Amino acid sequence: MGVLTFPEIPLIEGEIVFDIRLSQEQREFRDLARKFAQEEIKPKAMQLDLVTEWEKRVPWDLLKQGSQLGFRTFVLQEENGGSGMSDHITSCLVAEELAAGELGTAYYFMLTARRARDWFELRMTPEQRAYFLPKFVNDDLYFTTVAIHEPETDFGFDFFTETPPTIKLRTQATPQPDGSWIINGTKAYQTVGYLAKLIVLRAQIPDGTVQSFLVEGDAPGLSRRPMSKFGRRVGDNAAEMVFDNVRLPPGRILPPAPKGRADMGTHPTIAALTLGLGRAAYEETLRYTQERISGGKPIIQHQAVGIAIADMAMNLQAARRLIWTAAWVKDHPEAIEDGSVEALPYEHMAIAFTGTAVQRITEQALELFGGAGVIQGMPIEKYVRDAHVQKHVSFPYPSRFKITESLVGYKRKVPPFHGGD
């Protein structure tokens, strides 16, 4: 695929300006995502959100159609069944467009896509890849999740992506004489967890270390209970997972991330999903304020309304630039190493800022819609609920902890951590 062009224009020693120009392939794929989101996903979103039974809120036809368009596999190399667009900028472009159609549906595609790159191409052994990759590529409804968080603990939230050395998980993996493993424990709050066909499970082994295990969704002994949320209800269903003597065959430990890789992870993509939600709220509000007449003129011409719209637009643009910076830096870690870019935790900044900004954008939209905004079945009412959920899953406080640690050069001291007795 084409590469992003970032001309370096010296301003002050050690500083540069980024001129982000998308390749033709990136623009075409972004436009395909926009067309699918606006013409296929968005028209069905409100109706699905109102359905009470969660199984009927899963947009199976959209998930299959989107997979056939490549939104689940595009990050894989062409020889592995993808499109070779593994850079984070492209992922963020697609995430924003799909989420502008409907946030929960977009989650299925985007987290699965980014994990596909990390898991299938960068971490799996050749034997694991030979077994799992064909299943993934050939099944349009093969989605994935991680199983990290445990009930009644803050593991996975307070510590974000780190595993404290003192941790004691409830979920345990016990080795067997034949090389297999027996898994027992419970995980909760897993995005797309109820329907995922491949689960990467974090469990503790007898030597005290924590390993990642590849678990198939139909494994005997695995049971899942959906956890309904008040927002982000369409498609994306969190789940509690119970592992009751789940036996895994030998060779199911997923190797750790390759040493030195800085381009892995989903944080910029999650921020871009949040951005897409904010853009949808902004576009709906911009349209409404130009059509709604008060005092003989469109309400956008009233000073207070115009200022609010301007604030919404500025927050969207600021978030997008921060997300793109985070994405570019993940793809170009050498820019930090050689001093071209200041060493800052851009991905944490992006995910924290965007979560807060989009919640504010949806609240402003609600204020401008007035009574119409709180009526169930109206888009703004849904966007407000989705934004509250999205801000929570954007880890606003752990992200800020990471930022502060980076700015002042210290590391939080954490107490011995236990996931239960």
Considering only the C-alpha atoms of the chain, give the largest distance between any 2 of them, rounded to a whole number of Å: 81
pLDDT tens sequence for the chain (421 residues): 444 444 443 434 445 445 578 999 999 999 999 999 999 999 999 999 988 888 888 999 999 999 999 999 999 999 999 999 999 999 999 999 999 999 999 999 999 999 999 999 999 999 999 999 999 999 999 999 999 888 766 555 444 445 566 667 889 999 999 999 999 999 988 888 889 999 999 999 999 888 999 999 999 999 998 888 888 888 766 889 999 999 999 999 999 888 766 667 788 999 999 999 999 999 999 999 999 999 999 999 999 999 999 999 999 999 999 999 999 999 888 888 888 888 889 999 999 999 999 999 999 999 999 998 899 888 999 999 999 999 887 777 778 888 888 888 877 665 444 333 3
Q: How many other C-beta atoms can be found within 10 angstroms of the C-beta atom of residue 315? A: 21
The closest of 251, 259, 235 to 386, measured between CA atoms, is 235
**Rounded distance between C-alpha atoms, residue 300 and residue 287, angstroms:** 10
**Taking the domain 145-254, which CATH number applies?**
2.40.110.10
Could you write out the DSSP letters of every residue in 113-175? HHHHIIIIIIIS-HHHHHHHHHHHHH-TT--EEEE---TTS-TTTTTTT---TT---S-EEEE
For tokens 């968080």, the residue is 149
pLDDT for 418 equals 38
The CATH architecture assigned to 24-142 reads: Orthogonal Bundle (1.10)
Q: Which CATH number fits domain 267-408: 3.30.360.10, 1.20.140.10, 3.40.50.10440, 2.60.40.10?
A: 1.20.140.10
Quote the tokens at residue 225: 């209970």
Residue spans per domain, the chain: 24-142, 145-254, 267-408
Dihedral, 257, 154, 146, 238 alpha carbons, nearest 10:
-160
CA atoms within 13 A on the CB side of 111: 24
- Residue 236: predicted pLDDT: 62
DSSP letter string, 364-377: HHHHHHGGGGGSTT
- The answer to whether the 145-254 and 267-408 domains have the same CATH topology is no
Instruction: Note the pLDDT tens digit of each residue in 68-89.
Output: 999 999 999 999 999 999 999 9
At residue 3, the pLDDT reads 44
DSSP secondary-structure letter at 78? G
